[in-house]
Structure 1
Amino acid sequence: MIYLGPAGVPISSKDRSTLGGLRRVAELKLNAMEIEFVRGVAMSNQTAEEVGRLARELKVELSVHCPYFINLCSTDKRKLEASKKRILDSVERCYHMGARIAVFHPGFYGSLTPEAAYEMVKEADRDMLDRMKSMGIKGVALGHETTGKVSAFGSLEELVRLCKEIRGCEPVVDFAHLWARNAGKIDYGRIFDQLEPLKLKHLHTHFTSMEWTPAKVPGAGNERRHLPISFDQPPVDPLVREVLRRNLDITIISESPVLEQDSLVLKQKFEKLGFRF
């Protein structure tokens, strides 16, 4: 199955609540929505349950994006613990609404070597998964998003390695971040090939166009700003064709500045090539 929808409440939703956003997603005949906790987790468990009931009724696939203020590579114990708490608070809401994945940006290398940063993220994941077990939380994956800056932990290679080692962790492929990080280059087929060893039943992804700037590292870049997918950077059509060719079970969340408008553009592209939602 292919799930398409916006990162947050649709722009066209008159009711700006999460419930209103879900109803607007369904009106538009989209089938996914990512709940954005990026500034903090303000939703109660009770509201999360209400959101989940409505999503199931409307047949909208839910996911959650954790707050931005997360750094699992921090050597400051207080900052590290605060990062874990923000993720676990998001995971708890995820569980109560019946969403299967909580997405976050893992952190920054800072003064650490990439290998040391990797070990810190891995240890933090193990700790959070242990806490989730003690909380009785099942069926929620820790979704590590590929990052768009060379200073940030989260290359595809790092995340595939991590998710091979830690059960309960999944990569979240942000195609625009990979495009920026690789200085305006992307090979969708190679990305999906790299993911194959994980044998994922479902792949969660983000898509938008992206302006990037060159990094000091040769052949690398950094994300600058999100753009509507009409900019075609990274190109859209090759992704659509590759998803259909591989018959992928995938969610594609639009992080475009025009949110649901670009989800609808993606839907039209899939339908033009014969897919029926």
Structure 2
Amino acid sequence: MVKIFLGPAGIPLSTRGKGSIEGVKRVKELGLNAMEVEFVQGVKMSVDTAKELGGVAQELGVRLSVHAPYFINLCSSDQEKVMASQKRILDTAERASAMGADAIAIHVGFYGDYTPEQCYSLVKDSLLVVRDKMKENSIDSVKLGVETMAKETAFGTLDEVISISKEVPGVIPYIDWAHTFARQGGNIDYDEILDRLTRELGLTHINSHFESLQVRKGKYVDVHEPISKNAPPFEPLAKALLKRDISITLICESPKLEEDALIMKGVLESLGYKLG
């Protein structure tokens, strides 16, 4: 039977207090059971605060994941930028480990001056370096999630993230369903993707984002919209999940955060699934 962890990307907009701890409490109040901690503008949380946050989340039954900073490019031709990117991933992983988060979402880089094949090699080398440093620091419970990306200039096709997950231990795909939908020209086959993740990688838990994207000149672009836009539609994904014996985290990256997460919850309930 499927097990679904659903919640917002960051602190719910309706949270009365400040900070991620209050955010997790609000997630629980809303009847949701997951939250992605956002380090997108930098890793500013202390390890001690991360530990405290993890304790509260565990007590309330809220599953945590983390989003690494946007300022990461493992395909940069500037080695200093690559090393700084590796450090940001490592710093994120350290906090993720302290709070008991299972995975971090990473925008790993842009092709830039390189071919996709050259960029793939650079990303692989950097992730191996980060994994070695994580091992040295006894960070062994956190998966590095290479996110699927919407922009054609970015590393992150479905094939790329699956392939690199096969090659680097501790690396998984972090599936952004809308990004994949856009990258595939406004098409997505949820069953096919879920089958690939379980068959090719043997995943028993999938980490993912869900939102809708804006259309400009007939093309889907990486501007997040409320899920009511149906780009891509959520209900077919819900139906595909409910046919499977799998665990998944669905993080709502819509601008409406918890409002849309609750709509997603309502869709699941209408199909007979009760969020635990």
1:202 aligns with 2:205: yes
- Residue 95 of structure 1 corresponds to which residue in structure 2? 97
The CA deviation string for residues 94-119 of structure 1, in whole angstroms up to 9 with x for no partner, is 01001110111110000111110000
- Residue 154 of structure 1 corresponds to which residue in structure 2? 156
Would the alpha carbon gap of residues 186 and 257 (structure 1) be closer, same or farther in structure 2, given more than 3 Å must change? Answer: same
State how 1:1-277 maps to structure 2 within 5 Å: 1-195=3-197, 196-213=199-216, 223-277=221-275
2:172 alignment partner, SS class: strand
- 1:49 is displaced (CA, Å) by 0.3
Give, as a single letter, the amino acid of the residue that structure 1 aligns with 2:258.
E
Q: In structure 2, what is the Cα distance between the partners aligned to 1:158 and 1:184? A: 18
The CA deviation string for residues 64-105 of structure 1, in whole angstroms up to 9 with x for no partner, is 000000001112110000101111100000010011101111
> TM-score, length-normalised on structure 1?
0.96
Q: In structure 2, what is the Cα distance between the partners aligned to 1:243 and 1:254? A: 16
- 1:137 is displaced (CA, Å) by 0.9
Q: In structure 1, what is the Cα distance between the partners aligned to 2:220 and 2:139? A: 36
Give, as a single letter, the amino acid of the residue that structure 2 aligns with 1:121.
V
1:14 alignment partner, SS class: coil
The CA deviation string for residues 7-40 of structure 1, in whole angstroms up to 9 with x for no partner, is 0000011112111101100000100000000000
2:243 alignment partner, SS class: helix
Would the alpha carbon gap of residues 212 and 112 (structure 1) be closer, same or farther in structure 2, given more than 3 Å must change? Answer: farther
Q: Give the stretch that moved more between structures: 205-214 or 51-60.
A: 205-214
> TM-score, length-normalised on structure 2?
0.96
What is the percentage of aligned positions where both structures have the same residue? Answer: 48
1:246 alignment partner, SS class: coil
Give, as a single letter, the amino acid of the residue that structure 2 aligns with 1:124.
S
Q: In structure 1, what is the Cα distance between the partners aligned to 2:191 and 2:163? A: 18
- Residue 218 of structure 1 corresponds to which residue in structure 2? none
- 1:45 is displaced (CA, Å) by 0.3
- 1:182 is displaced (CA, Å) by 1.7
The CA deviation string for residues 145-183 of structure 1, in whole angstroms up to 9 with x for no partner, is 000100000000001011011110000100110111122
Query: What is the count of residue pairs matched by the alignment?
Result: 272
Contact kept, 8 Å, 2:252 with 2:261, in 1: the verdict is yes
Which sections of structure 2, spanning at least 5 residues, go unmatched? none
Would the alpha carbon gap of residues 35 and 165 (structure 1) be closer, same or farther in structure 2, given more than 3 Å must change? Answer: same
- 1:222 is displaced (CA, Å) by 5.5
- 1:210 is displaced (CA, Å) by 0.6
The CA deviation string for residues 123-153 of structure 1, in whole angstroms up to 9 with x for no partner, is 0010000000111111111011000100000
- 1:184 is displaced (CA, Å) by 1.3
Contact kept, 8 Å, 1:8 with 1:33, in 2: the verdict is yes
If asked which structure has higher relative contact order (CA below 8 Å, sep 6+), I would say 2
Which sections of structure 1, spanning at least 5 residues, go unmatched? 216-220
Give, as a single letter, the amino acid of the residue that structure 2 aligns with 1:161.
S
